[in-house]
Every structure is written in C-alpha cells, then in structure tokens.
Amino acid sequence: MKKRILPALLLCASLQAQTMGTLFEALKQNPSIKLDDLAVMKSKVGYRDVMARFYPKVDALVGFDHYNRPSSLVPLPPNKILPMVKDPTVAQPFGTTIKRAGVSVSMPLFVKSLFTQLKRSELLQHSAKERKKLAFLQKEALLVGAIANWHYLIRMQESLATKEKSLQKSMQVVRLKVKTGRAPESAMFKLEEAVDSIEIAKNNLKIQVEQIKATIYQLTAIALKKPVQIHQSNKIKEEKLFALEPLKDKADADALALKAQKEQLWPSLVAKGSYFSNQTDAYNNDKSVREGYGSYGIYLKVPLFNKSNYTQIDQAKLSYLKSRTKIAKATLELKADAQRLKATLPLLEHSIKVA
C-alpha cells in the first residue's frame, strides 16, 4: 500500500511545484508545435527540391524497337557499307528487331524560372520559421492569459465568499427581527435570493476554473491544482505587427510564383547526351551484331504554344491577389484587437482591484 501512496504523493508535489518556466518548457512539447517544426522541415525540403533541378538528370534505358523492314543499328558512312555488301559473310548492322541498352543525360544550362523558384523557396522557408515563432508566441500568450484569468477568478471567489459570509450574518439578524415582528418576512426572502445568486455565481466560477485547467493541460499536458505565480516584468511596447510577417512573406512568395510562371514562356538552354549499345541479328546472314552509338548537344528550347501555361499564370495571379487580400484583412483585425485591448486593460485592472 505504501508503494502506491508514495508515487501519488510525489506526483501531487510535482504538480504543485510548477513554475511558468516549466510550463513554457512543456509547451514546447505540444504536438501543434511539433507540426510547426515539420512545416519548417518541409520548407527546407522544398528549397532542396528546387536546388536539385539544377543538377544533371541521368536515366538508364533498356528496350527494343521492331521495324517492318531492316533498319540500321547506328548511322553508317558509305565507305563502311560498301565492303559489307561485297562480302555476304560479314554481318551487316541491319535488322528488324533491335535491342538497346544505355544511358541518357540532360542538364539545364539556363532556365530563368528556376532562379525565381529558388528565391521563392527561400521566402517560403523564412515564412515557415516566422509562422512557427508566431504560433509559439500565441500559445504562450494563451497560457499566460489562462493563468492570469485563473488568478482573477480566485479573487472573485474570495470576494463572493466574503459577501456570502456577510449575508449570512445579516440573515441571522433579520431572522431574529422577523420572529419578533420588527421586520417583514419579505426581507428574509430577499436575503435568501441574494445568497442563492451568490451560489450560482460561485458555481459558474468553478466551471470557468475547470475550463482554464483543461486549456492549460491541453497546452502543456500538466494538470495544475492551483495557478502558478506570474508578474509583469516589462511594460507593454507598441511595435510593428509581427503577426503580419508570415503573411507578407507568403505574398512575396506568391508574387515570385507568378513571375516564375510567366518565365515558363521564356526560351531555355539545355544540354543533352546519350550512349546506347545496340544489338540485332543481321538481316543478310542472321549473325549477331552489336554496335555502340553516342551523342551530345546543346539545345535552345523555345515554347511556342502551350495553353496550360496561360491557365497556370491566371491561377498564380489569383493566389497572389488572395495573399494580398489576406494581409489587408489581417491588418484590420489586428488593429481592431490592439485598440480593444488598449481600451479594456484599464477596465480589467480596475475589476481586479474591486474584486
């Protein structure tokens, strides 16, 4: 039995020994924070994905071609074909079924849209980091607000307890007066109604406290029995709206996405090369013959018409306009919240003093 009681006591003691520092450390382990970490990692992978497009692409190919008439394994000059024609015992490199195995290499030398996409991926990476920072600050604020509200509710509970105690004393005096006929019975009813209203208010406060405990547990996975102590270390400073930074980065990234999509219409310069080993049964004597053949070159690719490119440009333009509209919407909302908080802070401080 003692072995069961001791861990329970240690757990209870640890729950009461929490500080804001330990709560903040526990907050870092919140699954939603882990999701933000994954979002940052995903943005880094996106950057590496764009970088990978600058590297050569190498493919191994194995297959066969079948023709309805004998075809050459490789291009042959006339001075090499004539001796073969004169000597039937020589396997001529022509056949109807040609087996091929080899490699092909391609590499972009200059593709303008890739450089724009690289800048975009850098912005998205920065935006993901800012969103992670903002999300953590929001959860810290929610945690601090929950603790502060808990302290306020405790003050309210103490105030209600004092009022209830005072009413109980008044009820004793009034009850005697009613018995002696010096006060009407309705006076007693009014006091009882006041006590009942206090009981209802106390129950409502208990419900709010339980909701706060649930919020704190959801954020930190720590079940508190009482609120930790907090105090304001610095005055509130009015600075730029940090919450807009991730949205601005996203809008700038969408602008670059639109630019990159338009650059798909630009010419691009690519290098290509390949080498294949070809085998067939010679059509003149059925002997096996094998020839190797390779090539490399530099090509200027000029897109003349691709309807989907113009559709994608329209989609990128709409995404950019949507991002700019979100910034305008968020700016109005944040300014309204800032004005509301600035106006209600003195009222909250007064309520705490009065409670």
Q: Residue 129 pLDDT > 80, yes or no?
A: yes
Distance (Å) of CA 263 to CA 70, 251, 257, 318, 342? 45, 18, 10, 17, 47
Band of pLDDT at residue 351, cut at 50, 70 and 90: low
Rounded-to-integer distance, Cα 269 and Cα 266, Å: 10
pLDDT tens by residue, 170-183: 777 777 776 777 76
CB atoms within 10 A of CB 100: 16
Q: Residue 137 pLDDT > 80, yes or no?
A: yes
Q: Residue 1 pLDDT > 50, yes or no?
A: no
Give me the pLDDT at residue 236, please: 53
DSSP secondary structure letter of residue 63: E
As a whole number, the mean pLDDT across the chain is 84
Rounded-to-integer distance, Cα 266 and Cα 244, Å: 34
What values do phi and psi take at 105, rounded to 5? Answer: -130, 135
Q: Residue 75 pLDDT > 90, yes or no?
A: no
Q: Residue 44 pLDDT > 70, yes or no?
A: yes
Single out the residue of 22, 21, 20, 17 nearest to residue 230, CA to CA. Answer: 20
Give me the pLDDT at residue 138, please: 86
Give all strands of the β-sheet with 268-281 in edge-to-edge order.
57-72, 94-110, 268-281, 288-301
Give me the pLDDT at residue 238, please: 52
Q: Which residues contact 330 (CB under 8 A, 6 or more apart)?
A: 243, 244, 247
Rounded-to-integer distance, Cα 271 and Cα 77, Å: 26
Rounded-to-integer distance, Cα 348 and Cα 332, Å: 24
Rounded-to-integer distance, Cα 138 and Cα 326, Å: 19
Give me the pLDDT at residue 237, please: 57
The mean pLDDT value for 338-352 works out to 70
Q: Residue 6 pLDDT > 70, yes or no?
A: no
pLDDT tens by residue, 285-338: 888 999 999 999 999 999 998 888 899 999 999 999 999 999 899 888 888 877
Single out the residue of 308, 313, 306, 332 nearest to residue 113, CA to CA. Answer: 313
pLDDT tens by residue, 324-342: 999 899 888 888 877 877 7
Specify the pTM.
Answer: 0.71
- Please, are residues 157 and 202 in contact by the beta-carbon 8 Å criterion? yes
Q: Which residues contact 166 (CB under 8 A, 6 or more apart)?
A: none
∠ at Cα 329 (324, 330), nearest 5°? 95
pLDDT tens by residue, 248-284: 988 999 999 999 999 999 999 999 999 999 999 988 8
Q: Residue 11 pLDDT > 60, yes or no?
A: no
**pLDDT above 90 as % of the chain:** 41
The mean pLDDT value for 25-31 works out to 88
| Residue 249 burial (10 A CB sphere; 0-12, 13-18, 19+) | buried
The mean pLDDT value for 42-46 works out to 93
Percentages (nearest 5) of helix, strand, coil residues in the chain? 65, 15, 20
∠ at Cα 18 (15, 19), nearest 5°? 165
The DSSP element (H or E) to which 69 belongs, if any, is strand 57-72
Give me the pLDDT at residue 276, please: 94
CB atoms within 10 A of CB 107: 14
The mean pLDDT value for 48-56 works out to 94
Terminal Cα-to-Cα distance of the chain (whole angstroms): 45
Give me the pLDDT at residue 19, please: 82
